[in-house]
Structure 1
Amino acid sequence: MPEHRHEDRVAQASQSPGAVTRLAASWRRSMVKHGLDPARAPLVRRLDARELAERHERLDGFVAVARPQLDHLFQLVCPTGCNVLLTDSTGIVLEQRVNEADAATFRDWGLWAGTDWSEAAEGTNGIGTCLAEGRQVTIHRNEHFYARNTGLSCMDAPIWGPDGRLIAALDVSTARLDHSERWNALIAAQVAQSARQIEAAFFRVSFPCARIITAQIDGMDDATLLVAVDKDDLAIGANRAARRAYGLEKEGQLRPRPASDLFGREDEVTGFERAERAAVIRALARAEGNVSAAARALGVGRATLYRRMTRLGISENRGRLSQG
C-alpha cells in the first residue's frame, strides 16, 4: 500500500471518538493522546548504554528468570527469521534473540535492545499496544500506525508480576513477506504460552519459602491460578488470574488471609483444595504414612499437617489413602 494511502487510512479511521474497533481505538490514541502524526514518523528513540543498564538492573531478577524461556522460544521461531524481544512495562527492549543473518534487518527496523516501542513513541505496534491494553495482540503489517513499520508483523503477550502489575511484554517480530496471518497466529499462541511460563516461574521464585497451589478455571484467558501459602496456612501471594477469580486486591501486596477462607467452605471441594489434597496424599505416600516425615517434606509443622488432613478428610493410615 502506498505510504500516503496508509497515512490517509489511519487518519480517517482515527477521526471518530467512538472508534468501533480496537485497532481504530489504538490509532486514535496514537494521534489524540500521544500527538503523533502518521505522515511524520520521528527518529527511533534508543537509550544509551548507561540508561539501558539501569533498566536492566531494576528488573535483574525477572530477566534472569525469563532468559531460559526466551532461549527456548527463539529456538522454536528462529528458523523462520523472527526476532524475539523482551521489554519492560514502558516498552523499552531489554533482551533480544536474533539470528546473525537477520540482525542487520532488525537493527534497521529499530527492533533492538534499548529502543522504545511504546505507543507514545511508535504509535500502534505489537509491543506498545500490548502494554497499553494489557492483552495479547498481533499487529500485522499495515495495522501499524506508521507506514515505515508496515513491513512488520508483531505478536505480543503481556507478562504480569506477582504483585498483579504489568511488568513486561514478550514479542516475536518478523519482516518475512511469506508469513501469513494464519502462520502468525501459530507464533502468537507460542508467545502467549511462553509469557505465561515466564510469569509462573517468576511468581514461584518471588515466594521461595511458600507452597504454591495451582488451579484451573474454565473460561479465563489466563486460566492458571497461582496462590502462595505460607507455613501457617495463610495465603500471602496470588497471581493476577487468582486475584481476578477470587476478588482479591487488584494490585500490590496481598493482605494475608487464611487459605481456607480464600479457597471456599470446607464442604465445597474447590480446585485449590483438590490440588492441596493431592499434594498431601503424595507426601504421606512417599513417607509411608509417617505424618512427621510428610510434614517435613512439605515444609510445615506436624500439627499444621494434622489440621490440613482433618480439613481435607485424609486419614494418616496409608492403607486408606486411596479411599479418602
Structure 2
Amino acid sequence: MMKHGLDPADRHRPERLSCSELAIRRQSMEQFLNVAGPQIDQLYNLVCLSGCNVLLTDAEGVVLDQRVNDADAAQFREWGLWQGVNWSEAVQGTNGIGTCLVEERQVTIHRNEHFHTRNTAMSCMDAPIWGPDGRLLAALDVSSARADQTERYNRLISAQVAQTARAIEAIFFHASFPDARIVVASGEGIAGDGTGAATLLAVDKDDLAIGATRAARRALGLEREGAIRPRPAADLLGREDELSGFDKAERAAVARALARAGGNVSAAARALGIGRATMYRRMARLELGEK
C-alpha cells in the first residue's frame, strides 16, 4: 500500500472516533441501521458460536454497528474491529471491509492476505450494500478470530454474508419508498448483474417507475446513481401496458372505483366526482357491467 504510505509492520492500534463523532455518523444513517439491525441479529445467531464478529460499516469504512460474543470481545477490540474504527484501505491497507468498498464487490481476505501484519490472525468475509439511490452505502463484514478456520468454512460464511447484505438492501429499498408498490423486474430480456442482488422497481400510483435498485438500474439501463427519471413501468419491463391509451386508463379507474364501492354505482360515481348517469354511460362505453 505504497500509495497510502502505510507500513505493514506498523503495530499501532487503529484510532477510534469519539463517542460524539460516532453518534453523528449513526444518526445520519438511523433509518438504515434500524432496518439492518434484525438482519444482523440473524446473521450473528448463525456465526456467533464460531468466534465471529459481525460488523456493519458506512461507505467510508467506519464501523457503525456490531455483534460479538463477550468471550471474543477483548480480542476483537484489541485488533480494532470495533465500533468507531475506520477500516478503509487508506487507513488499514488490504482488509475485508476496505477492499470490499474499494472494489465494490464481495471479498474474503484470509489471514496473511491482510496488509498489516497485526491483522494476519483474522479472516474477513465482506459484501457491499447498495442504497436505493444506486450508490454504495455500506459494507457487511464477518471477521473470525479462530486460528483453525479453514477457507472452506470461510466460503460458507461468505455466502451467508452476501445473502444477508442482499436482504438488507432489498428491505431498505422497500422502506425508502413507503407509498410505492415494489415490483420485481424480471422477465424475458432482463438480466441481473450476476450477484443475485434484488432487481426491484418502485412504482407509484400512476404506474410510473420512480426508484430502482442498483441491479435494476444496470439491467434496465437507468441512471447509474441518484434519482431516476420517472418512466412507465410497463415500458421498462417490456410488458403489454394494461393501462395504455385513455380508454384503458379510464376503464381501469372506473373498475377500481366500483370495486372500492363494492359495486355500488352511485358511490363509485361520487368517488370519481361524476354524476350517476354519466357513470352508467361510461360503464356502457367501457363494457363494464353493473355488479
TM superposition score category, shorter chain reference? 0.7 to 0.9
1:226 is aligned, of 200, 208, 211, to 200
- Alpha-carbon distance, 1:215 to partner: 3.8
User: What is residue 88 of structure 2 aligned with on the other side?
Assistant: 118
Equivalent residues of 1:83, 1:173 under 8 A apart: yes
Residues 1-324 of structure 1 mapped to structure 2, 5 A cutoff:
30-32=1-3, 34-216=4-186, 217=191, 220-264=194-238, 266=240, 292=257
Q: Distance in 1 between matches of 2:81 and 2:9?
A: 21
- Alpha-carbon distance, 1:291 to partner: 5.0
- Alpha-carbon distance, 1:40 to partner: 3.0
Gaps of 5+ in 2: 243-254, 262-270, 273-286
> Structure 1 residues 316 and 51 mapped into 2: Cα distance closer, same or farther (>3 Å)?
farther
Cα deviation code 1:242-301 (max 9, x no counterpart)? 00001100000111111122112529xxxxx9xxxxxxxxxxxxxxxx8557679xxxxx
Letter in 2 for 1:230: D
- Alpha-carbon distance, 1:37 to partner: 2.1
Q: Distance in 2 between matches of 1:54 and 1:38?
A: 31
> Structure 1 residues 40 and 242 mapped into 2: Cα distance closer, same or farther (>3 Å)?
same
Cα deviation code 1:106-131 (max 9, x no counterpart)? 11111001011000110000000000
Larger radius of gyration: 2
- Alpha-carbon distance, 1:172 to partner: 0.2
User: What is residue 287 of structure 1 aligned with on the other side?
Assistant: none
Q: Distance in 1 between matches of 2:12 and 2:225?
A: 35
**Which piece of structure 1 moves more, 177-186 or 256-265?**
256-265
* CA root-mean-square deviation: 2.3
Q: Distance in 1 between matches of 2:106 and 2:155?
A: 11
Q: Distance in 1 between matches of 2:39 and 2:136?
A: 18
Equivalent residues of 1:127, 1:156 under 8 A apart: yes
Letter in 2 for 1:198: I
Letter in 1 for 2:2: M
> Structure 1 residues 229 and 117 mapped into 2: Cα distance closer, same or farther (>3 Å)?
same
Equivalent residues of 1:157, 1:169 under 8 A apart: yes
Say which SS state the counterpart of residue 199 (structure 2) adopts.
Answer: strand
Q: Distance in 2 between matches of 1:87 and 1:157?
A: 11
User: What is residue 11 of structure 1 aligned with on the other side?
Assistant: none
Identity of aligned residues (%): 64
Say which SS state the counterpart of residue 15 (structure 2) adopts.
Answer: coil
Q: Distance in 2 between matches of 1:219 and 1:62?
A: 23
Q: Distance in 1 between matches of 2:196 and 2:227?
A: 20
Q: Distance in 2 between matches of 1:208 and 1:106?
A: 38
Give the TM-score normalised by structure 2: 0.81
Say which SS state the counterpart of residue 200 (structure 1) adopts.
Answer: helix
Letter in 2 for 1:255: R
Give the TM-score normalised by structure 1: 0.73
Equivalent residues of 2:40, 2:67 under 8 A apart: yes
Equivalent residues of 1:45, 1:121 under 8 A apart: no
Equivalent residues of 1:139, 1:153 under 8 A apart: yes
Gaps of 5+ in 1: 1-29, 268-272, 274-289, 297-301, 304-314, 318-324
Q: Distance in 2 between matches of 1:157 and 1:196?
A: 9
Equivalent residues of 1:291, 1:316 under 8 A apart: no
Letter in 2 for 1:55: R
Equivalent residues of 2:108, 2:126 under 8 A apart: yes
Say which SS state the counterpart of residue 224 (structure 1) adopts.
Answer: coil
- Alpha-carbon distance, 1:240 to partner: 0.1
Cα deviation code 1:21-59 (max 9, x no counterpart)? xxxxxxxxx222x12122335440210101000000110
Q: Distance in 2 between matches of 1:137 and 1:116?
A: 18
User: What is residue 270 of structure 1 aligned with on the other side?
Assistant: none
Q: Distance in 2 between matches of 1:162 and 1:41?
A: 39
> Structure 1 residues 93 and 151 mapped into 2: Cα distance closer, same or farther (>3 Å)?
same
